[in-house]
Amino acid sequence: MKTRTATEAPITDASRVAAGRGDGPAPRGPARIRRQLPTSPWLFAAPGLVIVAVFILYPFLSTLNNAFTDKRTLMPGEYVGLANFSELLHDDMFWIGLRNSTLYVLVVVPALVLLPLLLAMLVQKHIPGITFFRSAFYTPVVASIVVVGLIWVWMLDERGLVNAVLEAVGAGKVGFLSDQWLLLFSAMAVTVWKGLGYYMIIYLAALANVPRELHEAAAVDGAGAVRRFLTVTVPAVRSTMVLVGALSSVAAFKVFSEVYLMAGPTGGPAGEDTTLVMLVQRVGTGLTGRVGYASAISVVVFVVTVTLMLLVLRADRKEDA
């Protein structure tokens, strides 16, 4: 143990230096390293920087720019000011997309903050076979969203397994994939189903750090399981819940594949199940794709996702204060 602490102290020291100002004089090693090979640092960083600049940052900036043009797939287009955005205000499809994506966040996020936590508590104890259960619960995370979507399309089919079971127990058939609202909620359920294992693993790591003494003390004081969950577990993993909330809300607002696969490319009956990203894909692609208008919708997606992030993080701060 002694050797460990001996090396540990300087590590933080060195990494602080390394993380410090990029070009100021350094008191230790780094400066000497620079003298030796002046060009190689950029050689190291170049592949990553080029890819990220050309295929992420440039498209991001051109999306912001295109939002103010009437550019189409094969036409350069001209600046039209805020015309795309004022058109959005009168576009029923846009409002449908915004409604569905927002609903998605409102339903999926609470489920993905709470259910994986309960699941993590279920698989937390090291009872025999628990590794198998943990892995099995993670399997939907590994599967492609296309596979998951198609599996559930078949499960929820009018003649599929769920309806066969419902019929066998005497309940009638349910049109999971034909009703506008049932379709959307089925897609949400699939999103939750696929995400459970992922967030379970995140919570599992957080639960391992909850001091056991707290649970014991609460139990001695006569707190029941529910009370201990609310007064010990939840406060202890609160920062993880915020993280999960932030991650899942941004992902939920950008939902595409589940709804696309279950409701079809046109978004269910009369397009009523279209989400915003589906609308971007539909409007912006193809030979006559309205790149400018699709970019305006994308800008709305950016603004909402950033706002969601800030809201969640802010809620965290407030609770701290």
Partner 1 sequence: MSTTEKIPATAAGRGARPAPKPRRRRITDENGRRMPVWEIVLRYGLLLAVLALMIGPFLWQLSTSLKGPHEDIFSSPPTFLPSDPTFHNYERVADTIPVWDYALNSLKVAAANVVTNCVGATLAGYALARLRYRGRKAATVVFVLAMLVPVEGIIIAQFTTMRELGLNNTLIGVLLPGCVSALNVLLMRNAFLNVPYEIEEAAFVDGANVWQRFLRISLPAVKGTLAVVAIFAFMGAWDDFLWPLIVLSDPERFTLTIGLNYLHGTFANDERLVAAGTVIAVLPLIVLFACLQRYFFRGVGEGAVKG
Of residues 86 through 105, those in contact with partner 1 by CB under 8 A are none
Nearer to partner 1, 150 or 315 (CB): 150
- Closer residue to partner 1 in complex, CB, 12/90: 12
Residue 79 touches partner 1, criterion: CB under 8 A: no
How far apart are the C-alpha atoms of 296 and 71, rounded to whole Å?
11
302 binds partner 1 (CB under 8 A): yes
The 10 Å CB-count burial string (b at 16+, else e) for 258-275 is: bbbbbbeeebbeebbbbb
Q: How far is the CB of 161 from partner 1 (least distance, A)?
A: 5
Q: Does 178 engage in binding with partner 1 (CB under 8 A)?
A: no
Among 87, 107, 138, 179, binds partner 1 (CB under 8 A): 138
| Among residues 261, 263, 279, 312, the one that binds partner 1 under rule CB under 8 A | 261
DSSP 11-74: HHHHHHHHHS-SSSPPSSHHHHHHHH-SSHHHHHHHHHHHHHIIIIIHHHHHHHHHTTB--BTT
Query: What CA–CA distance (Å, rounded) separates 299 from 67?
Result: 7
Q: Is 143 in the site for partner 1 (CB under 8 A)?
A: yes
* CA atoms of 140 and 112, how far apart (whole Å): 14
21 is a site residue for partner 1 (CB under 8 A): yes
d(CA 185, CA 100): 10
Q: What is the CA radius of gyration of the chain?
A: 25
Of residues 80, 219, 254, 272, which one binds partner 1 by CB under 8 A? 254
Q: Report the distance separating Cα 89 and Cα 235, nearest Å.
A: 42
55 versus 181: smaller Cβ distance to partner 1: 55
Token pair in block for residue 56? 């992420």
The answer to whether residue 226 forms part of the interface with partner 1 (CB under 8 A) is no
Q: Is residue 284 involved in binding partner 1 (CB under 8 A)?
A: yes
Cα(first)–Cα(last) distance of the chain, in Å?
Answer: 38
186 binds partner 1 (CB under 8 A): no
Contact between 45 and partner 1 by CB under 8 A: the answer reads yes
**By three-state DSSP, how is residue 79 classified?**
strand
Q: Binder to partner 1 among 85, 185, 193, 229 (CB under 8 A)? A: 193
Provide, rounded to whole angstroms, the least separation between the CB of residue 321 and partner 1. Answer: 21
Binding of partner 1 at residue 140 (CB under 8 A)?
Answer: yes
Q: Does residue 84 belong to the site contacting partner 1 (CB under 8 A)?
A: no
- Which one of residues 78, 82, 139, 178 is an interface residue with partner 1 (CB under 8 A)? 139
According to CB under 8 A, which one of 82, 106, 146, 311 is a site residue for partner 1?
A: 146
What the block records as the tokens of 134 is: 């943990």
